[in-house]
Chains A and B, each alone.
Chain A
Amino acid sequence: MAETEAVPVGAAEAGRWPRGAGDTGRSRPVEGVRAYGLIVGMWLRSTLAYRASFVMTTVGNFVATAFDFVTIMLMFTHVDALGGYTLPEIALLYGVSATAFGLADLVLGSMDRLGRRVRDGTLDTLLVRPVPVLAQVAADRFALRRLGRITQGLLVLGYALVTLEVEWTPLKVLMLPMMVLSGAAIFGAVFVAGAAFQFFAQDASEVQNAFTYGGTTLLQYPPSIFAQDLVRGVTFVVPLAFVSWLPALYVLGRDYPLGLPGWVAFLPPLVAGVCWVLAGLAWRAGLRAYRSTGS
């Protein structure tokens, strides 16, 4: 898309502020987080307007995800190891990935509705408000029922920690919260990038789901059972391997896939940072394209 013609900004500075409201000089991230909180509060209240429905969907969400791990446990009644990994080891991979994904899904999971908002034109109503659009889209349809998934992830993680036979070192202990938080950030960046893509292709939410929902399913199994090319893809292209595989393998004292060096286990925070910068750029490009094409 061609850049719009540059126009002198001098005239804008002459603008007057006859009334108290307006530009507060606060930074955009702060404004964004505040707006996010305000809108989430409204959705929570909307949800609680239908209390019974909320309780049922939360429980349903928990049960549905719980069955997921029950399947794996059932599998282990017939085999002793999967891809060379024991049940507690798989539980660690599963718990980290599910909790990280659950957090990202809770905070940003409704961003895949952006395409619909673009199509029906309701995105415009967000663009005339004095707060960042990203925050408004992220908070859209905030669904507390997604706590169900996080609960399940934490339970599996707890099971892993109780049953694992690992020599815990301070570094390995620190690795746990780092994995979960960086992992959530990486998934979050994928959500934002996926939403940005919907500015260009309004029905692309399935593509995004392949990386988010599909990604978390993938990470719940050890890398040893997948083809090398797939493992390469989720390491170097969409770096989901940094969510749980690489740091968790460090905790388990296992060999890394693809012959990667040991220090990659400590990269997740950095990878998450880079992902967010890229996702932010993608978002800006998407929003700019929307504002020049209107569709």
Chain B
Amino acid sequence: MGDTDFIELDGVEKVFDVRRRVGFLRRERHEVRAVDGISLRVPRGEMVGYIGPNGAGKSTTIKMLTGILTPSGGRLRVAGIDPSRERTKLAHRIGVVFGQRTTLWWDLPLRDSYRLVHRMYRIPDRRFRENMDRCIELLDLGALLDVPVRQLSLGQRMRGDIAAALLHDPEVLYLDEPTIGLDVVSKARVREFLRDLNAERSTTVLLTTHDLTDIEQLCRRVMVIDHGRLVYDGGLAGLHEVGESERTLVVDLERELPPIDVGTESSARVVKVEGPRQWVAFPASASAAGLVARIAADYPLVDLSVREPDIEAVIAKMYAASS
């Protein structure tokens, strides 16, 4: 096992047999290929964004990587271990954070949940204390340790969950929507922590998200899955190029004016006008600076903001471009 293939998937498939009731007793069976032949390699210490629309097969892949689900076909290894066969052995080496489902104990102080992890994973005392101190410092948990989990905010709980998943020194961390529902400050803190973790411990991180900013700030590599197949594997910039995605500049002018003249040489264009507010789309790979300067010079500007393309839009464009 080389470090270049810490996570290995070769033609991994997951086929579900779905039975649908069509009559009183009659049922119709049909196959759903949730994961349809995925092959990839993730080296140790890499941070990868795993994205795709809902139902694309993201969580099915994560469930196979963690040993929850048994693949229907293909070969899958994490740290040289076949997850479905040696689930409990693998459990010592992986950390999992399910964004929507906390593993913390609702009625007990946060501290108690960590004590359980300590004993359940048989973490050596010194190691546990070191990791605990580190998480308390970086995730700012000190004041929360004696608070019952039910009283924590969503962001605090997410930080608590991330710490719980890391106390046993996992070599790989799976994060399912780690920033969903968090406020801006919490998001930033979680991202910063993950960056540090990856840099210091070279923990391999695989995260699914709907938030492209997560990917931009954390991952050099993005894998896009759709209909159970890997449709893109590379850098984020490349994804924008392939998908020809556009960012949108939302411009608030002093008063209602005809559509902004963005000039002919750039590929920017006004896509919507609503009273004094106008939407200008431009390629995601281009800088907004030139465009902003031009508009500011010629128009009575009140405010402006840039909207990032969302993943669904990028993927939709990718398909439109390839077909």
Chain A interface residues (CB < 8 Å from chain B)? 1-2, 4-5, 7, 9, 11-12, 14-16, 18-24, 35, 38-39, 42, 45-46, 49-50, 121-122, 124-125, 127-132, 288, 291-294
Cβ of B123 and Cβ of A21 under 8 Å apart? yes
By a CB distance below 8 angstroms, the chain B residues around A288 are: 70
Cβ of A14 and Cβ of B1 under 8 Å apart? yes
Whether a CB of chain A sits under 8 angstroms from the CB of B49 is: no
Task: State the interface size on chain B (CB cutoff 8 A).
Answer: 51
Give bound CA distance, A121 to B68, whole Å: 11
Give bound CA distance, A130 to B120, whole Å: 8
Cβ of A130 and Cβ of B101 under 8 Å apart? no
Give bound CA distance, A50 to B67, whole Å: 36
Cβ of B81 and Cβ of A24 under 8 Å apart? no
By a CB distance below 8 angstroms, the chain A residues around B318 are: none
By a CB distance below 8 angstroms, the chain A residues around B121 are: 21, 130
Cβ of B169 and Cβ of A45 under 8 Å apart? no
Whether a CB of chain A sits under 8 angstroms from the CB of B75 is: yes
Whether a CB of chain A sits under 8 angstroms from the CB of B30 is: no
Task: List 22 contacting pairs A-B, 8 Å CB cutoff, sorted by A.
Answer: A4-B84, A7-B75, A11-B77, A12-B80, A12-B81, A12-B85, A15-B1, A16-B80, A19-B127, A22-B89, A23-B89, A46-B108, A49-B148, A125-B103, A127-B67, A128-B68, A128-B96, A129-B88, A130-B88, A292-B72, A293-B17, A294-B16
* With A4-B72, A11-B77, A292-B70 as contacts: A22 and B92 at CB distance below 8 Å: yes
Partner pick for A49 among B84, B87, B89, B108, CB 8 A cutoff: B108
Which label, helix, strand, loop or mixed, suits the secondary structure of the A interface? Answer: loop
Residue of A at shortest CB range from B95? A128
Give bound CA distance, A243 to B148, whole Å: 42
Whether a CB of chain A sits under 8 angstroms from the CB of B216 is: no
Interface string of B178-191 (1 = CB under 8 A from A): 00000000000000
Give bound CA distance, A131 to B88, whole Å: 6
Cβ of B80 and Cβ of A11 under 8 Å apart? yes
By a CB distance below 8 angstroms, the chain B residues around A21 are: 92-93, 121-124, 127, 168-169
Whether a CB of chain A sits under 8 angstroms from the CB of B91 is: yes
Partner pick for A46 among B72, B89, B107, B171, CB 8 A cutoff: B107
Cβ of B1 and Cβ of A11 under 8 Å apart? yes
Cβ of B80 and Cβ of A125 under 8 Å apart? no
By a CB distance below 8 angstroms, the chain A residues around B71 are: 4-5
Interface string of B123-146 (1 = CB under 8 A from A): 110010000000000000000000
Q: What's the minimum C-beta distance from B80 to chain A, rounded to whole angstroms? A: 4
Cβ of A46 and Cβ of B105 under 8 Å apart? yes
Give bound CA distance, A132 to B84, whole Å: 14
Known: A9-B85, A20-B127, A124-B101. 8 other contacts (CB 8 A): A7-B75, A19-B169, A21-B92, A21-B124, A38-B119, A49-B107, A122-B101, A291-B68
Whether a CB of chain A sits under 8 angstroms from the CB of B82 is: yes
Q: What's the minimum C-beta distance from B294 to chain A, rounded to whole angstroms? A: 50
Q: What's the minimum C-beta distance from A180 to chain B, rounded to whole angstroms? A: 32
Cβ of A124 and Cβ of B63 under 8 Å apart? yes
Q: What's the minimum C-beta distance from A254 to chain B, rounded to whole angstroms? A: 46
Give bound CA distance, A4 to B83, whole Å: 13
Q: What's the minimum C-beta distance from B16 to chain A, rounded to whole angstroms? A: 6
Q: What's the minimum C-beta distance from A116 to chain B, rounded to whole angstroms? A: 13
Cβ of B171 and Cβ of A125 under 8 Å apart? no
By a CB distance below 8 angstroms, the chain B residues around A12 are: 77, 80-82, 85-86
